[in-house]
Structure formats: C-alpha cells, structure tokens
Amino acid sequence: MKQIETMLNSTDKNSLSQLEDLLGEQHIGTSYDTPLRIDAFDISDAQKIEAISGHFREIMNILGLDLTDDSLNGTPGRVAKMYVKEIFAGLNPANKPKIALFENKYQYNEMLIEKNITLYSNCEHHFVPIIGKAHIGYISSGKVIGLSKLNRIVQYYSQRPQVQERLTIQIANELKSVLETDDVAVMIDAAHLCVSSRGIKDTSSTTITADYSGTFNDPDRKKEFLTYLSYG
C-alpha cells in the first residue's frame, strides 16, 4: 500500500481533484468532507477486512479475551466485515446510491417532505452508534426524486464515522447536487451513545442539527417545513 501522507485538508490540488473524481463529491478538502487519506482506495475491501480482522484480534487479545473460545473466535472477522461492508460502507464511493430522477410531469410545485428517515451512524470520536431520524424537504426545480433514494442518501453518508454537523451538511449538499436546486432542508434529531452509554451517561438528551438552503431560508418556508414535521 502506498504510504501517502497527503490528507484531504492539504492544499495538494491534484490529490484533491483525484479524490473528488473517485468519490463523486465536489468541494473535497473542505471542512464538511470526511477526512480520507488519498490512498484510501489503494486496497480492496477483501484486503481491508483481512487487515482489520488481524488488528481487532490483537485488540481482543490485549483485553485478555480467549480467542480460542468458540463464541469469540469469529468476532474479529465479523467486526471487520461489518465495518467494511455495513456500518462504514459509505466510505467507499462504489456504494454511493445510483439516483435516477423523474420529470415533474404532474407539476407538483409544493414542498415535499420525507420525515422520520431511520438513521444509524457512528460517532467518529468514540466509534459508538448515533441513532436518530432525518427529515428532508425539497421543492422541485423540474425533477422529482424517487422517495427511497432520499433514505439511501441518508444511509450512505451515515455509514461513515461521523459528527452530526458534517453528516447533515453532506446529505444536504448531495441533495442539492442531485436535485439541481438549492431549495433543500435537512434536519437530524439523534441520540449519541457516546453521550448516553458512557461518559456523562445522559440517556434523555438528543441532538438536533439542520441545514436550510435557498427558499428554506425564508422564515415562512422554514415554518412550513417545521409545521409538517410536527404532524403525526
């Protein structure tokens, strides 16, 4: 594996545009992009799983666990596979959802809201779950997105080590890009297990983040969005 030290927040424009191409995301290197190394895609998923499995086995060994126990023996491989193929699958641009849009033939020009989208992510500071709901609103600029694709976009960016602020902005930016409009609102309400299950151990607090663009900056539009969220 190439040992390239260049980080995404570097000023190496060639590396950054290479990563933009690979990730299919623009503005790589900004504060709201996941800090990935330029060599992130030099090894295959299978190689990642093998390497993570070995390292996780070592962590379990250091903790004093008996890896010959038949319940523990498969855990390193299980964790590695879960990281690469499931909970951190959104680090691999190959897993980015393919979005096909429809023409807005029905001339639906009001706000569309998809609320209570199930969100499972993981906190990048502690690698423990973030569990919540995402709510999305947009106004068509001529194109309509399949509803499930909204869930898929939320899931893709959630399947990365995250902070909630960045997750919110990444989802909003992707929506603005695919929908070719700035008229997008995203809200996330989530519980962080690093706050509830350890540390301060507050089991009742949740964190709300929001990103409003275009017409959603208008107080009446924002109010309309928030009113829809309060129904049901």
Ligand X SMILES: Nc1nc2c(ncn2[C@@H]2O[C@H](COP(=O)(O)OP(=O)(O)OP(=O)(O)O)[C@@H](O)[C@H]2O)c(=O)[nH]1
Note the residues at the interface with ligand X (CB under 6 A): 123, 125, 163-165, 192, 194-195, 199-200
Alpha-carbon torsion angle 42, 48, 52, 53, nearest 10: -150
Least distance in Å: CB of 91 to Zn ion? 18
176-205 residues near Zn ion, rule: CB under 5 A: 194
What distance in Å separates the CA atoms of residue 167 and residue 192, rounded to the nearest whole number? Answer: 13
C-beta separation of 135 from 115 below 8 A:
yes
- Half-sphere exposure (Cβ direction) of 197: Cα atoms closer than 13 Å: 11
Nearest to ligand X of 125, 223 (CB atom): 125
Nearest to Zn ion of 134, 194 (CB atom): 194
> Per the annotation, does 126 bind a ligand?
yes
Decide which of Zn ion, ligand X, none touches 49; Cβ closer than 5 to 8 Å per partner kind.
none
Decide which of Zn ion, ligand X, none touches 175; Cβ closer than 5 to 8 Å per partner kind.
none
Question: Cβ neighbours of residue 155 under 8 Å, at least 6 residues apart?
Answer: 90, 97, 119
Q: Is 125 among the residues that bind Zn ion (CB under 5 A)?
A: yes
123 is catalytic: yes
192 is catalytic: yes
- Sheet of 184-192, strands arranged across: 161-162, 111-123, 129-139, 184-192, 207-212
Q: Which residues pair with 209 in a beta bridge?
A: 188
Contact residues for Zn ion (CB under 5 A)?
A: 123, 125-126, 194
Residues forming the annotated binding site for Zn(2+)?
Answer: 123, 126, 194
The residues annotated as belonging to the active site are 123-126, 164, 192, 194
